[in-house]
Chains A and B, each alone.
Chain A
Amino acid sequence: MAKIIGAVVVDEEKCKGCNVCVNECIHDVLALHKEVNSYGYHYSYMKNSDKCIGCANCGLVCPDTCITIYRAKV
């Protein structure tokens, strides 16, 4: 059976760590990093990258448009 794998790339410098994408991700892929960017925000990153299906919900709710989403069939 074909499986769909997604990947989320967050622009770490532009992310303001608002946590809205983490809250919106129903597959528990995203989390806020313990490190901070140069503005002092805990940026969002892919914690469980194997669970991502590339649904693009995180990108839609991101107020700062710092998320790019990729999806591929395996």
Chain B
Amino acid sequence: MELIDIIKQENIVYKKSKVLNDVVMHYCPGCSHGTVQKVIAELIEELDLQERAIGVAPVGCSVFIYNYIEVDWQEAAHGRAPAVATGISRLNPDKFVFTYQGDGDLASIGSGETLHACNRGENILIIFINNGIYGMTGGQMAPTTIEGMVTSTTPFGRNAELNGHPLKITELIAKLPGTSYVTRQSVHTAAAVRKCKKAIKKGIQNVLEKKGTSFVEVVSTCNSGWKMTPVAANKWMEENMFPFYPLGDLKDDIKDEPASKN
């Protein structure tokens, strides 16, 4: 059988989601943002939420998410996405409201808004991309930068005595009574992408069933900020980030089948 016989409409097993716009993303080659946004678009298509979904865009590299996913968007001030999402979800209780934030947005300037929105148990889904660096502004140290990690502002590696300890904000959020589902995932391999998709799907369903805040952290790479190739960055993340940020569910109040078993 020739290739031309296989490449037919009826044989398609994987293709670009219709919810994703047909533009080239501005992210660097191999950036995890693209993969996570693709997963979100696939789930919005799968669950038929395109007319109901309202996203809140952050400040950072991922601000242009509103150009890529074809749903309603609102841009929030730096770190204030959970506060804006609170207002949207309270005024539109029939909509699905989610925020998409990086670590500089969520764990640094917006830590107060995030903690309080999760503590109030707003019916929103928060997707948190943790790459341990301020990617857009040139790779400076973030609150989530792990100890010993070299960034442009910690050229000799992060030193806990001088720079403080890295912040595990997902563990903090898992302690709050308002959250129903808190998990940590990754998208560096196909298996990890499948698990991450299941976790985000569970988060979306929790929000639609009004069970409180769902929080999905995705441990990601920033290969240009880390000064590595995309493949080397994935390997570095496995070796150095995963021991400090172990993958898996941190909290699951809905006691049915767990979304992931890592």
Question: Which A residues are within 8 Å of any B CB, using their own CB?
Answer: 5-7, 9, 13-14, 16-20, 23-24, 41, 49, 54, 56-72, 74
**What's the least CB distance linking B226 to chain A, in Å?**
14
**What's the least CB distance linking A43 to chain B, in Å?**
11
What sequence of 0s and 1s flags, for each residue 188-206 of chain B, a beta carbon within 8 Å of any chain A beta carbon? Answer: 1110011000000000000
Question: Which of B5, B14, B194 has a CB less than 8 Å from the CB of A72?
Answer: B5
Pick the interface stretch among B22-30, B57-65, B86-94, B253-261.
Answer: B22-30
Find residues 23-47 in chain B having any chain A CB closer than 8 Å to their own CB: 24-25, 27-35, 38
Inter-chain CA distance A54–B12, complex, in Å, is 9
CB of A64 within 8 A of CB of B25, answer yes
**What's the least CB distance linking B38 to chain A, in Å?**
5
Residues of A within 8 A of B15 (CB): 59, 68-69
CB of A63 within 8 A of CB of B1, answer no
Main secondary structure of the interface of A (DSSP, over half): mixed
B262 at interface, CB cutoff 8 A: no
Asked if A61 meets B14 with Cβ closer than 8 Å, knowing A9-B7, A14-B24, A72-B5, the reply is: no
CB of A18 within 8 A of CB of B13, answer no
Asked if A70 meets B38 with Cβ closer than 8 Å, knowing A20-B30, A60-B193, the reply is: no
Asked if A70 meets B7 with Cβ closer than 8 Å, knowing A14-B24, A63-B31, the reply is: yes
CB of A69 within 8 A of CB of B29, answer no
